[in-house]
């Protein structure tokens, strides 16, 4: 297939239980569009047969399944998947489709209006959170957003929604420079987008929490906060500028 209009990248870690239904929903949505879609699945060292399941579900569809030999984290998986994607636009979505795939139309409309980076937001007017996270997780999320705004990048309402899309060149530009392997990657993506001059547009999306989560609140909150400090430190030291100049 020549370059598809849209590549859909799904980072997966032990997703055999819920990925099948999600891929079926995405395929059904894609079949109803008047443009070509291909899939990039990144199996990040799963031990539950995620890659085999993805191969079965995507038989007959344009797709690639990329595998990490060991678990490296969502940021690392997206660096692999987003820089391998060939579509004119590249959408990343969580495997649980907490944001339903039909919301992709809203993001694509923003691209057509000229935005290189479009992020789903649960916080801007018009967003619709139909099932909330636990009180504690939601409040930790607020603290993370505040810290990300203060330390790294102002004016973003929702860093961590797992539904974002990019023009192909913005995807390669940003994810090729990503250093964070773990959960702080979201903030680094937005930092890099700003730094590289790719305008970021927030689009309100609907979102329903799936309580089945790979996030460990204590470990991953501390890990993410340390990630923000690393990003700020690299920014101060000019690490990202050096990466850009090396092009």
Ligand X SMILES: Nc1nc2c(ncn2[C@@H]2O[C@H](COP(=O)(O)OP(=O)(O)O)[C@@H](O)[C@H]2O)c(=O)[nH]1
Backbone angles phi, psi at 176, to 5 degrees: -65, -20
Q: Which does 11 bind (CB under 5 to 8 A by kind): Mg ion, ligand X, none?
A: ligand X
Helical spans, DSSP H, in the chain:
16-31, 50-57, 74-84, 104-112, 135-151, 168-175, 185-195, 217-237, 239-245
**What torsion, rounded to 10 degrees, do the Cα atoms 231, 211, 20, 85 define?**
-10
Residues facing 184 on adjacent strands: none
Residue 2 or 212: which CB sits closer to ligand X? 212
**At its nearest, how many Å lie between Mg ion and the CB of residue 98?**
5
Which listed residue (15, 38, 186, 188) binds ligand X by CB under 6 A?
15
Footprint of ligand X on residues 128-157 (CB under 6 A)? none
**At its nearest, how many Å lie between Mg ion and the CB of residue 213?**
5
Take residue 208 and report the two structure tokens written for it: 């329903």
Q: Mask of contacts with ligand X, 56-95, x by CB under 6 A?
A: ---------------x-xx--x----------------xx
Which listed residue (214, 219, 237, 244) binds ligand X by CB under 6 A?
214
93 closest CA partner among 15, 201, 184, 151: 15
Residues that bind ligand X (CB under 6 A): 11-13, 15, 42, 44, 71, 73-74, 77, 94-96, 98, 162, 210, 213-215
């Amino acid at each position: 297939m020549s370059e598809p209009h849209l590549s859909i990248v799904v980072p997966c870690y032990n997703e055999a239980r819920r990925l099948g239904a999600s891929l079926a929903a995405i395929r059904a949505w894609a079949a109803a569009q008047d443009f070509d879609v291909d899939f990039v699945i990144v199996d990040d060292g799963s031990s539950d047969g995620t890659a085999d399941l993805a191969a079965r579900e995507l038989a007959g569809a344009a797709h690639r399944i990329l595998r990490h030999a060991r678990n490296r984290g969502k940021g690392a998986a997206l660096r692999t998947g987003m820089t391998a994607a060939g579509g004119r636009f590249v959408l990343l979505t969580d495997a649980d489709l907490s944001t339903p795939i039909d919301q992709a139309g809203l993001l694509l409309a923003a691209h057509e209006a000229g935005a290189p980076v479009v992020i789903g937001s649960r916080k801007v007017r018009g967003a619709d959170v139909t099932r909330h996270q636990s009180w504690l997780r939601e409040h930790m999320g607020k603290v993370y957003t505040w810290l990300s705004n203060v330390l790294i990048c102002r004016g973003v309402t929702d860093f961590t929604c797992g539904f974002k899309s990019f023009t192909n060149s913005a995807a390669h530009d940003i994810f090729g420079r990503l250093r964070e392997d773990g959960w702080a990657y979201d903030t680094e993506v937005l930092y890099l987008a700003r730094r590289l001059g790719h305008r970021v547009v927030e689009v309100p999306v609907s979102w329903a929490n799936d309580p089945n989560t790979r996030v460990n609140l204590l470990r991953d909150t501390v890990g993410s906060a340390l990630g923000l400090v690393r990003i700020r430190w690299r920014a101060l030291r000019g690490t990202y500028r050096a990466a850009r100049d090396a092009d």
